[in-house]
Protein backbone atom coordinates (compact mmCIF):
# COMPACT_ATOMS: atom_id res chain seq x y z
CA UNK A 1 0.00 0.00 0.00
CA UNK A 2 2.81 2.37 0.89
CA UNK A 3 4.48 1.67 -2.45
CA UNK A 4 1.18 2.26 -4.24
CA UNK A 5 0.76 5.67 -2.58
CA UNK A 6 4.32 6.58 -3.47
CA UNK A 7 3.60 5.64 -7.06
CA UNK A 8 0.54 7.91 -7.12
CA UNK A 9 2.56 10.71 -5.55
CA UNK A 10 5.21 10.45 -8.22
CA UNK A 11 2.57 10.27 -10.91
CA UNK A 12 0.90 13.35 -9.47
CA UNK A 13 4.11 15.30 -9.53
CA UNK A 14 4.68 14.23 -13.10
CA UNK A 15 1.16 15.22 -13.99
CA UNK A 16 1.70 18.62 -12.47
CA UNK A 17 4.87 19.03 -14.47
CA UNK A 18 3.13 18.04 -17.65
CA UNK A 19 0.07 20.24 -17.29
CA UNK A 20 1.76 23.29 -15.79
CA UNK A 21 1.49 26.10 -18.37
CA UNK A 22 4.72 27.43 -19.83
CA UNK A 23 5.62 30.97 -18.85
CA UNK A 24 5.75 33.03 -22.06
CA UNK A 25 8.71 35.36 -22.45
CA UNK A 26 7.82 38.99 -23.08
CA UNK A 27 7.90 40.14 -26.72
CA UNK A 28 9.29 43.64 -27.14
CA UNK A 29 7.64 46.03 -29.60
CA UNK A 30 10.45 48.02 -31.15
CA UNK A 31 10.60 51.82 -31.13
CA UNK A 32 10.05 53.57 -34.44
CA UNK A 33 13.23 54.90 -36.10
CA UNK A 34 13.43 58.50 -37.31
CA UNK A 35 14.41 59.39 -40.89
CA UNK A 36 15.65 62.63 -42.45
CA UNK A 37 17.10 63.66 -45.82
CA UNK A 38 20.79 64.56 -45.61
CA UNK A 39 21.58 64.95 -49.32
CA UNK A 40 20.36 64.36 -52.84
CA UNK A 41 21.39 64.38 -56.47
CA UNK A 42 19.70 63.75 -59.81
CA UNK A 43 20.04 59.98 -59.29
CA UNK A 44 19.86 59.52 -55.52
CA UNK A 45 18.37 60.53 -52.17
CA UNK A 46 20.64 60.18 -49.13
CA UNK A 47 18.88 59.43 -45.83
CA UNK A 48 19.87 59.31 -42.19
CA UNK A 49 18.00 56.68 -40.19
CA UNK A 50 18.22 56.93 -36.39
CA UNK A 51 17.11 53.96 -34.29
CA UNK A 52 14.96 54.40 -31.19
CA UNK A 53 15.86 53.34 -27.66
CA UNK A 54 15.29 49.66 -28.53
CA UNK A 55 17.56 49.78 -31.60
CA UNK A 56 16.94 47.72 -34.74
CA UNK A 57 18.14 44.24 -33.70
CA UNK A 58 16.70 42.72 -36.89
CA UNK A 59 17.36 45.66 -39.21
CA UNK A 60 14.93 48.19 -40.66
CA UNK A 61 12.88 48.74 -43.80
CA UNK A 62 12.48 51.89 -45.86
CA UNK A 63 9.40 52.08 -48.08
CA UNK A 64 8.83 54.69 -50.78
CA UNK A 65 6.70 55.51 -53.80
CA UNK A 66 6.26 58.48 -56.16
CA UNK A 67 4.32 61.22 -54.43
CA UNK A 68 1.85 61.30 -57.33
CA UNK A 69 0.93 57.64 -56.61
CA UNK A 70 0.87 58.25 -52.87
CA UNK A 71 -1.55 61.15 -53.28
CA UNK A 72 -3.97 58.82 -55.09
CA UNK A 73 -3.54 55.47 -53.35
CA UNK A 74 -1.80 56.10 -50.03
CA UNK A 75 0.28 53.22 -48.65
CA UNK A 76 -2.46 50.65 -49.14
CA UNK A 77 -3.54 48.11 -46.53
CA UNK A 78 -4.96 45.23 -48.57
CA UNK A 79 -3.08 45.79 -51.83
CA UNK A 80 0.26 46.97 -53.18
CA UNK A 81 -0.19 50.43 -54.64
CA UNK A 82 1.40 51.41 -57.98
CA UNK A 83 4.98 52.62 -57.66
CA UNK A 84 5.51 51.02 -54.23
CA UNK A 85 9.07 49.89 -53.43
CA UNK A 86 10.99 48.91 -50.33
CA UNK A 87 14.44 48.01 -49.10
CA UNK A 88 15.21 46.01 -45.95
CA UNK A 89 18.60 46.88 -44.45
CA UNK A 90 19.70 43.96 -42.28
CA UNK A 91 23.32 43.15 -43.07
CA UNK A 92 26.74 44.72 -43.54
CA UNK A 93 27.09 47.67 -45.97
CA UNK A 94 30.13 48.00 -48.23
CA UNK A 95 29.27 51.04 -50.38
CA UNK A 96 27.83 53.75 -48.13
CA UNK A 97 29.46 52.98 -44.81
CA UNK A 98 28.77 55.06 -41.70
CA UNK A 99 31.96 55.38 -39.58
CA UNK A 100 31.67 53.40 -36.37
CA UNK A 101 28.51 51.55 -37.49
CA UNK A 102 29.47 48.06 -38.72
CA UNK A 103 26.01 46.88 -39.80
CA UNK A 104 22.35 47.82 -40.17
CA UNK A 105 21.55 45.96 -36.93
CA UNK A 106 21.62 49.12 -34.87
CA UNK A 107 22.01 49.63 -31.15
CA UNK A 108 19.94 52.20 -29.26
CA UNK A 109 19.77 55.74 -30.71
CA UNK A 110 22.26 54.99 -33.49
CA UNK A 111 22.41 56.90 -36.80
CA UNK A 112 23.26 55.30 -40.13
CA UNK A 113 23.33 56.65 -43.69
CA UNK A 114 21.56 54.87 -46.55
CA UNK A 115 21.25 56.00 -50.17
CA UNK A 116 18.23 55.27 -52.34
CA UNK A 117 19.27 55.16 -55.99
CA UNK A 118 22.57 53.39 -55.22
CA UNK A 119 21.17 50.08 -54.02
CA UNK A 120 22.53 48.04 -56.96
CA UNK A 121 26.02 48.39 -55.49
CA UNK A 122 25.10 48.14 -51.80
CA UNK A 123 25.33 44.97 -49.71
CA UNK A 124 23.50 43.78 -46.59
CA UNK A 125 20.11 44.58 -48.10
CA UNK A 126 17.06 43.06 -49.78
CA UNK A 127 15.19 45.34 -52.16
CA UNK A 128 12.58 45.46 -54.89
CA UNK A 129 14.31 48.45 -56.50
CA UNK A 130 17.90 48.68 -57.73
CA UNK A 131 17.53 51.51 -60.26
CA UNK A 132 18.41 55.17 -59.81
CA UNK A 133 15.90 57.71 -58.60
CA UNK A 134 14.39 59.90 -61.31
CA UNK A 135 15.82 63.45 -61.27
CA UNK A 136 13.66 66.24 -59.91
CA UNK A 137 11.05 63.83 -58.54
CA UNK A 138 9.11 63.77 -55.27
CA UNK A 139 8.60 60.59 -53.27
CA UNK A 140 6.63 59.64 -50.17
CA UNK A 141 8.81 57.69 -47.73
CA UNK A 142 8.59 55.97 -44.34
CA UNK A 143 10.69 53.61 -42.17
CA UNK A 144 10.15 50.96 -39.50
CA UNK A 145 12.28 48.64 -37.37
CA UNK A 146 11.86 45.00 -38.39
CA UNK A 147 10.55 42.34 -36.02
CA UNK A 148 11.98 38.89 -35.43
CA UNK A 149 12.51 36.40 -32.59
CA UNK A 150 11.57 38.20 -29.39
CA UNK A 151 10.57 41.42 -31.17
CA UNK A 152 7.53 42.91 -32.86
CA UNK A 153 8.10 45.36 -35.71
CA UNK A 154 7.79 49.01 -34.79
CA UNK A 155 5.04 51.23 -36.05
CA UNK A 156 5.84 52.98 -39.32
CA UNK A 157 7.31 56.44 -39.07
CA UNK A 158 5.34 59.44 -40.24
CA UNK A 159 5.33 59.86 -44.02
CA UNK A 160 8.11 62.12 -45.26
CA UNK A 161 8.01 63.82 -48.68
CA UNK A 162 11.48 63.80 -50.23
CA UNK A 163 12.91 64.92 -53.56
CA UNK A 164 15.83 63.95 -55.76
CA UNK A 165 18.14 66.68 -57.03
CA UNK A 166 17.93 68.67 -60.25
CA UNK A 167 20.38 70.44 -62.50
CA UNK A 168 20.91 71.32 -66.14
CA UNK A 169 22.35 68.00 -67.21
CA UNK A 170 25.43 67.76 -69.36
CA UNK A 171 26.82 64.87 -67.31
CA UNK A 172 24.98 61.57 -67.17
CA UNK A 173 24.78 58.86 -64.53
CA UNK A 174 25.20 55.10 -64.68
CA UNK A 175 21.45 54.67 -65.12
CA UNK A 176 21.35 56.91 -68.18
CA UNK A 177 24.23 55.16 -69.94
CA UNK A 178 22.78 51.72 -69.17
CA UNK A 179 19.46 52.65 -70.74
CA UNK A 180 20.72 54.67 -73.71
CA UNK A 181 23.48 52.68 -75.46
CA UNK A 182 22.63 54.41 -78.73
CA UNK A 183 23.87 57.69 -77.24
CA UNK A 184 27.31 56.44 -76.24
CA UNK A 185 30.16 58.56 -77.67
CA UNK A 186 32.36 55.42 -77.93
CA UNK A 187 31.72 51.74 -78.60
CA UNK A 188 34.58 50.50 -76.43
CA UNK A 189 36.45 51.65 -73.33
CA UNK A 190 39.64 50.64 -71.55
CA UNK A 191 39.29 50.03 -67.82
CA UNK A 192 42.67 49.59 -66.23
CA UNK A 193 44.62 47.86 -68.98
CA UNK A 194 41.72 45.79 -70.38
CA UNK A 195 39.59 46.97 -73.30
CA UNK A 196 35.89 46.04 -73.42
CA UNK A 197 33.31 46.42 -76.18
CA UNK A 198 29.94 48.03 -75.51
CA UNK A 199 28.12 44.72 -74.94
CA UNK A 200 30.66 43.74 -72.28
CA UNK A 201 30.51 47.17 -70.65
CA UNK A 202 26.72 46.92 -70.41
CA UNK A 203 27.09 43.51 -68.77
CA UNK A 204 29.41 45.05 -66.19
CA UNK A 205 27.04 47.99 -65.58
CA UNK A 206 24.13 45.61 -64.93
CA UNK A 207 26.04 43.32 -62.56
CA UNK A 208 25.24 43.93 -58.85
CA UNK A 209 28.42 44.64 -56.89
CA UNK A 210 27.61 42.35 -53.92
CA UNK A 211 30.50 43.85 -51.97
CA UNK A 212 33.01 43.69 -54.84
CA UNK A 213 34.93 46.98 -54.89
CA UNK A 214 36.09 46.33 -58.45
CA UNK A 215 32.51 46.46 -59.71
CA UNK A 216 31.66 49.43 -57.48
CA UNK A 217 34.55 51.38 -59.01
CA UNK A 218 34.11 50.26 -62.61
CA UNK A 219 30.42 51.19 -62.63
CA UNK A 220 31.31 54.82 -61.90
CA UNK A 221 34.44 54.72 -64.07
CA UNK A 222 32.50 53.64 -67.17
CA UNK A 223 30.06 56.54 -66.75
CA UNK A 224 32.92 58.96 -66.00
CA UNK A 225 34.87 57.99 -69.12
CA UNK A 226 31.78 58.38 -71.31
CA UNK A 227 31.08 61.77 -69.72
CA UNK A 228 34.70 62.80 -70.25
CA UNK A 229 34.28 62.12 -73.97
CA UNK A 230 31.37 64.59 -74.06
CA UNK A 231 33.33 67.43 -72.48
CA UNK A 232 36.71 67.58 -70.71
CA UNK A 233 36.42 66.99 -66.94
CA UNK A 234 38.16 69.13 -64.30
CA UNK A 235 41.76 68.28 -63.48
CA UNK A 236 40.83 66.55 -60.21
CA UNK A 237 38.57 64.11 -62.06
CA UNK A 238 41.23 63.48 -64.71
CA UNK A 239 43.55 62.51 -61.85
CA UNK A 240 40.87 60.30 -60.26
CA UNK A 241 40.30 58.46 -63.55
CA UNK A 242 44.04 57.83 -63.90
CA UNK A 243 44.24 56.60 -60.28
CA UNK A 244 41.28 54.29 -60.86
CA UNK A 245 42.89 52.81 -63.97
CA UNK A 246 46.14 52.23 -62.08
CA UNK A 247 44.30 50.52 -59.22
CA UNK A 248 42.36 48.26 -61.59
CA UNK A 249 45.32 47.29 -63.78
CA UNK A 250 44.62 43.96 -65.46
CA UNK A 251 41.77 42.93 -63.15
CA UNK A 252 38.58 41.77 -64.88
CA UNK A 253 35.24 42.03 -63.00
CA UNK A 254 32.20 39.75 -63.09
CA UNK A 255 30.46 38.71 -65.22
CA UNK A 256 33.34 38.93 -67.69
CA UNK A 257 35.93 37.68 -65.19
CA UNK A 258 36.07 36.90 -61.50
CA UNK A 259 38.44 39.48 -59.99
CA UNK A 260 37.63 41.74 -57.05
CA UNK A 261 38.89 44.58 -54.89
CA UNK A 262 38.28 45.40 -51.23
CA UNK A 263 35.44 47.96 -51.28
CA UNK A 264 37.23 50.11 -48.71
CA UNK A 265 40.06 50.64 -51.23
CA UNK A 266 37.76 52.38 -53.74
CA UNK A 267 35.58 54.52 -51.44
CA UNK A 268 37.20 57.88 -52.16
CA UNK A 269 37.46 57.33 -55.92
CA UNK A 270 33.90 56.05 -56.18
CA UNK A 271 32.60 59.09 -54.32
CA UNK A 272 34.48 61.57 -56.53
CA UNK A 273 33.40 59.89 -59.76
CA UNK A 274 29.82 59.58 -58.52
CA UNK A 275 29.73 63.34 -57.87
CA UNK A 276 31.16 63.98 -61.33
CA UNK A 277 28.57 61.75 -63.01
CA UNK A 278 25.78 63.53 -61.11
CA UNK A 279 27.04 66.93 -62.30
CA UNK A 280 28.24 67.86 -58.81
CA UNK A 281 32.03 67.90 -59.20
CA UNK A 282 33.73 71.13 -58.17
CA UNK A 283 35.20 73.14 -61.02
CA UNK A 284 33.31 71.23 -63.71
CA UNK A 285 32.30 73.62 -66.47
CA UNK A 286 30.56 71.20 -68.78
CA UNK A 287 30.05 72.63 -72.26
CA UNK A 288 28.11 69.84 -73.92
CA UNK A 289 25.41 71.46 -76.09
CA UNK A 290 22.03 70.87 -74.49
CA UNK A 291 18.49 71.42 -75.65
CA UNK A 292 16.15 73.18 -73.25
CA UNK A 293 13.48 70.73 -72.17
CA UNK A 294 10.87 70.08 -69.53
CA UNK A 295 11.77 68.04 -66.47
CA UNK A 296 9.24 65.44 -67.62
CA UNK A 297 11.22 64.86 -70.79
CA UNK A 298 14.50 64.94 -68.93
CA UNK A 299 13.32 62.39 -66.35
CA UNK A 300 12.38 60.00 -69.16
CA UNK A 301 16.03 59.89 -70.21
CA UNK A 302 16.96 58.16 -66.95
CA UNK A 303 14.41 55.38 -67.18
Burial zone of 182 (CB within 10 Å; 0-12 exposed, 13-18 middle, 19+ buried): exposed
What integer pLDDT is reported at residue 204 of this predicted model?
98
What integer pLDDT is reported at residue 76 of this predicted model?
87
Percent of the chain topping pLDDT 70? 85
What integer pLDDT is reported at residue 170 of this predicted model?
84
**Pick from 21, 29, 36, 280: which is nearest to 169 by CA?**
280
- The band of 25, judged by pLDDT with boundaries at 50, 70 and 90, is low
Round to whole Å and give the CA distance between 121 and 124.
10
Per-residue pLDDT of 210-244, as tens digits, reads: 999 999 999 999 999 999 999 999 999 999 999 99
Per-residue pLDDT of 62-81, as tens digits, reads: 999 999 999 999 998 888 99
What integer pLDDT is reported at residue 24 of this predicted model?
53
Query: 28-163, superfamily in CATH?
Result: Immunoglobulins (2.60.40.10)
Query: How do beta strands 151-152 and 28-29 pair?
Result: parallel
- Phi and psi dihedrals of 214, rounded to 5? -65, -45
Round to whole Å and give the CA distance between 250 and 198.
18
DSSP H or E run through 235: helix 235-248
The DSSP output letter for 160 is E
- The band of 21, judged by pLDDT with boundaries at 50, 70 and 90, is low
Going from N- to C-terminal start, the domains of the chain cover: 28-163, 174-301
Residue 23 has pLDDT above 70, yes or no: no
3 state DSSP class of 11: helix
Amino acid sequence: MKRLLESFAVAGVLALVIIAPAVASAVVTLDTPAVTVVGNGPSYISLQVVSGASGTPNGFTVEWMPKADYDIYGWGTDHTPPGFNYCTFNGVPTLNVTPGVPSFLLGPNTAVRVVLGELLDESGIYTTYSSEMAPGSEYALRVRAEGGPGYNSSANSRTLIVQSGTHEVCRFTIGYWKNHPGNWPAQSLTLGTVTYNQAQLLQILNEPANGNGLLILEHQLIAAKLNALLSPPPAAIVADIATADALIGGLTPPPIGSDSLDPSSVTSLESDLNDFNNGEAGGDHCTTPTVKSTWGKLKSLYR
